[in-house]
C-alpha cells in the first residue's frame, strides 16, 4: 500500500468510475483496476462494488476512504511543514554560546539574521564553553560559539574571530595612571577570574606559561560566574582581571574601568564555531553559519 494507490482510490471513489479516476491520476484504466485490486487483496476486503452504472463503495470501502483522506491530509501538512522549514518560515534555531560570543557577537548578528529570514526565531543558550560543548555533543543545541576547543572526534571546530584579553582595573586602583606594568608586579595583585570551565581562563594560563609564569604563582582572589560580576568588583576598587577588550570598551570610555597593558604578555584567544561531526545541519543553522562567516566580526 502506498500514497499513489490511496490517491487513486480516492479519485475512483469520488468520480464513481475507474476511467475517470484513472484519468485524474494520470493512469490507464487497466493500471487503475490492477492497483485497486491490489489494495483489496492487501486489505482482504472488497472495497468497491463494480456495477453497470460504475463503482460504489462497500461498507469497508467507506471506512477505507475516510482513513485514506486523513492520511493524504497529513501528508500534505507534512509537505507544507517541510517547505516552511526549508524556507526558514516559522522555524526556531537553538544555539549555544559562551559569555563573550553570546553577549557581544551574536547580538550584533541578530538584526541582519532577522532581516534575511524574518520567520526565523533564534533561541540562545548561555553558559561557559565546557558546558555549552557538552550540550552540543548531546544534541540539545545545533551549533555553538565558544572561546575554547575540546579534543574530541564528535565535534568539528572552525575559527570565527580573535578575542584580545586585556588587564583591567577600577578607576581608584593604584595602577590607574600607569601606562603599563611589569609581569612580576602582577604576581602580588589579587586577581579575579572566571569559573573553571571558562575559555578566557584557559587562554590566560596558556599565555602566562609561555611568558614563564605558572598558574600557582598567581594570587587568585575569587572566581566569579560572569564578566559583569567581575566588572562590578573592579569598579568597587578590588583587584585586577583579564577581560575581553570588547566587553569593557563602554566602561573604559566612560572612565569606569581602566586598561593596563602587561609588558611581555599578550593574551589572545580564538572564538570557535562548533558543530557535531557528520551531522546534517538544518537550513536555519546553515543560514546562521553563513552569516557568521561573512560578518565583520570574523576579521577582528
Q: Concatenated DSSP letters for the chain?
A: --HHHHHHHHHHHHHT-HHHHHHHTT--HHHHHHHHHHHHHHHTS--EEEETTEEEE-HHHHHHHHHHHHHHHHHHHHHHHHHHHHTTSSEEEEEEE-HHIIIIIHHHHHHHHHHH-TTEEEEEEE--HHHHHHHHHHTSSSEEEESS----TTEEEEEEEEEEEEEEE-TTSTTTT-S-B-HHHHTTSEEEEE-TT-HHHHHHHHHHHHTT--GGGSEEEEEESSHHHHHHHHHTT--EEEEEHHHHHHHHHTTSSEE--BTT--EEEEEEEEEETTPPPPHHHHHHHHHHHHSGGGG-
Q: Are residues 55 and 136 in the same domain?
A: no
Last residue within a domain, chosen from 26, 56, 86 = 86
Residue 29 lies in domain: 3-86
30 and 177 together in one domain:
no
Q: Are residues 172 and 241 in the same domain?
A: yes
104 in the same domain as 249: no
Report how many domains make up the chain: 3
From 43, 61, 86, give the residue that closes a domain: 86
Q: What is the pLDDT of residues 88-140, one digit of tens each?
A: 667 888 999 988 899 888 998 988 888 888 888 899 998 888 889 999 998 88
**Tens of pLDDT along 58-68?**
999 999 999 99
CATH number of the domain that residue 198 is part of: 3.40.190.10
Residues 295 and 176 in one domain: no
Residue with cell string 562590578: 232
Position 87 confidence tier, pLDDT thresholds 50, 70, 90:
low
- CA–CA distance from 128 to each of 37, 101, 191 (Å)? 63, 11, 19
Is residue 205 a contact partner of residue 267, using CB atoms and an 8 Å limit?
A: no
Which of 38, 56, 86 terminates a domain? The answer is 86
Cell of 202: 584557559
Same domain, 119 and 192: no
Q: What is the pLDDT of residues 179-238, one digit of tens each?
A: 999 999 999 899 999 877 677 888 898 999 999 998 889 999 999 888 889 999 999 888
Q: Do residues 61 and 210 both lie within one domain?
A: no
Q: Are residues 57 and 77 in the same domain?
A: yes
Q: For residue 53, what is the domain's CATH number?
A: 1.10.10.10
All 3 cell numbers of residue 49? Answer: 462494488
Q: For residue 300, is pLDDT > 80?
A: no
Same domain, 245 and 174: yes
Confidence of residue 299 (pLDDT cuts 50, 70, 90): very low
Count the neighbouring beta carbons within 10 Å of the beta carbon of residue 111. Answer: 9
Amino acid at each position: 500500500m502506498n500514497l499513489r494507490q490511496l490517491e487513486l482510490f480516492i479519485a475512483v471513489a469520488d468520480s464513481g468510475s475507474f476511467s475517470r479516476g484513472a484519468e485524474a491520476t494520470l493512469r490507464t484504466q487497466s493500471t487503475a483496476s490492477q492497483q485497486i485490486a491490489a489494495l483489496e487483496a492487501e486489505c482482504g476486503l472488497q472495497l468497491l462494488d463494480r456495477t453497470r452504472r460504475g463503482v460504489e463503495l462497500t461498507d469497508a470501502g467507506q471506512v477505507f476512504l475516510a482513513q485514506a483522506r486523513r492520511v493524504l491530509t497529513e501528508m500534505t501538512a507534512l509537505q507544507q511543514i517541510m517547505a516552511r522549514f526549508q524556507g526558514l518560515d516559522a522555524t526556531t534555531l537553538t544555539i549555544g554560546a559562551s559569555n563573550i560570543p553570546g553577549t557581544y557577537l551574536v547580538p550584533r548578528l541578530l538584526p541582519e539574521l532577522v532581516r534575511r529570514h524574518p520567520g526565523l526565531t533564534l533561541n540562545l543558550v548561555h553558559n561557559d564553553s565546557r558546558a555549552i560543548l557538552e550540550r552540543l555533543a548531546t544534541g540539545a543545541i545545533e551549533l555553538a560559539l565558544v572561546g575554547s576547543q575540546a579534543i574530541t572526534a564528535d565535534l568539528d571546530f572552525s575559527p570565527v574571530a580573535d578575542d584580545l584579553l586585556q588587564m583591567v582595573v577600577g578607576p581608584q586602583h593604584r595602577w590607574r595612571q600607569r601606562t603599563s606594568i611589569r609581569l612580576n608586579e602582577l604576581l602580588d595583585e589579587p586577581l579575579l577570574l572566571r569559573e573553571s570551565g571558562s575559555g578566557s581562563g584557559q587562554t590566560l594560563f596558556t599565555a602566562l606559561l609561555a611568558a614563564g609564569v605558572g598558574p600557582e604563582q598567581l594570587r587568585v582572589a575569587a572566581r566569579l560566574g560572569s564578566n559583569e560580576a567581575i566588572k562590578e568588583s573592579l569598579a568597587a576598587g578590588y583587584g585586577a582581571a583579564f577581560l575581553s577588550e570588547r566587553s569593557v570598551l563602554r566602561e573604559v570610555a566612560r572612565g569606569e574601568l581602566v586598561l593596563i597593558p602587561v609588558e611581555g604578555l599578550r593574551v589572545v584567544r580564538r572564538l570557535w564555531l562548533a558543530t557535531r561531526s557528520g551531522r546534517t545541519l538544518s537550513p536555519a543553522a546553515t543560514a546562521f553559519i553563513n552569516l557568521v562567516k561573512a560578518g565583520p566580526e570574523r576579521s577582528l
